[in-house]
Amino acid sequence: MRRVSVPPPAIETLAAEVSAKGGRLQFEAVVYGTSMSPTIRHGDLIIVEAAAAEQLEIGELIVYRGPTGRDVAHRLIGKRETRGSLLLTTRADSPTARDETVAAADVRGRIVKVEHRLRGHLLDRLPAPAVRMIWKLERQLRRSTERLMRRVVRAR
């Protein structure tokens, strides 16, 4: 399998092209949050295989674009056809989770592997404000690194 770095918005387009040619696309993501704990913990790495909503089975862990535009990992608990559109029902594994309805077009794929990382265990023990601060710093560092890399590429 060949590894390439692709920005999140381009994954949808790439997934559509690859599956149209009969191929498989997998991507990895780091999980932020605890809604799927203990199955998936904060900081775990997930491997996602692009899949159409019609291909998903009840009980699978899936990734979809949530209402805020961010990717969400939840368990598929139902499928229904409404006015010619396929709608999926998902739920997080946490005891207080509510069901969420997801349009088929928002599905990114199924989770095929979870790699538990030590980082997740350490962050689980920190108070929520500290974890939010770490997320914010990590995001700022990632953006700064991306800007720096763009400058380096342009300078060549």
Q: What pLDDT is stored for residue 8 in this prediction?
A: 56
**Segment among 15-19, 114-118, 142-146, 147-151 with least mean pLDDT:** 15-19
pLDDT in tens, 40-90: 888 788 888 888 899 999 999 999 988 888 888 999 999 999 888 999 999
Considering the entire predicted model, what is its pTM? 0.64
- The position carrying tokens 């159409």 is 52
Helices (H) and strands (E) in the chain, counts: 3, 7
The Cα–Cα gap between 104 and 115 comes to 27
Is there a contact between 115 and 97 (Cβ–Cβ < 8 Å)?
no
Q: Look at residue 106 and give its three-state secondary structure.
A: helix
- Same domain assignment for residues 112 and 131: no
Does the pLDDT at position 120 exceed 60? no
Among 23, 25, 88, which residue's Cα sits nearest to residue 57?
88
Same domain? 77 vs 153: no
Query: How many domains, in total, are found in the chain?
Result: 2
Query: Helical H runs in the chain?
Result: 8-20, 118-124, 128-155
Instruction: Domain of residue 63: give its range.
Output: 8-117
The verdict on 139 and 75 lying in the same domain is no
Name the residue with higher pLDDT: 22 or 1.
22
* Paired strand residues for 107: 64
* Structure confidence at residue 57 (pLDDT): 92
Residue 108 and residue 34 share a domain: yes
Q: Categorize the per-residue pLDDT at 32 as very low, low, confident or very high, splitting at 50, 70 and 90.
A: confident
